[in-house]
Amino acid sequence: AQSVAQPEDQVNVAEGNPLTVKCTYSVSGNPYLFWYVQYPNRGLQFLLKYITGDNLVKGSYGFEAEFNKSQTSFHLKKPSALVSDSALYFCAVRDYNTDKLIFGTGTRLQVFP
């Protein structure tokens, strides 16, 4: 069965510092991986996805993610955090057989001024 894990419930970063939100996956076959962000009182917004190709994927709002097959990871990164990046971040994998998205439990990112 496909699954993703987000090992950190919360990540705290100072504004201007680089940030990393971790995600590991378990799939049979090729992984199709996604990152979403949820701001307070809003729905989930798509950030980026990995389907195939370059291991470094660039997405919205200056975010990028690095796909690492040997470590089965898809960590979300940003070189310089902003206070406005504070939100809940979800990693997800598309189930190969059913085409459904399977979400991680979410990581709350807090960026301090």
Partner 1 sequence: DADVTQTPRNRITKTGKRIMLECSQTKGHDRMYWYRQDPGLGLRLIYYSFDVKDINKGEISDGYSVSRQAQAKFSLSLESAIPNQTALYFCATSDLSGKYNEQFFGPGTRLTVL
CA distances to 40, 53, 72, 97 from 4, in Å: 23, 20, 10, 16
Selected from 8, 20, 22, 44, the binder of partner 1 by CB under 8 A is 44
71 binds partner 1 (CB under 8 A): no
SS3 content of the chain, % helix, strand, coil (to 5): 5, 50, 45
Spell out, one character per residue from 18 to 37, where the chain touches partner 1: x when CB under 8 A holds, - when not. --------------x-x-x-
51 binds partner 1 (CB under 8 A): yes
46 binds partner 1 (CB under 8 A): yes
What type of residue sits at position 54? D
60 binds partner 1 (CB under 8 A): no
Q: What is the DSSP letter of 28?
A: S
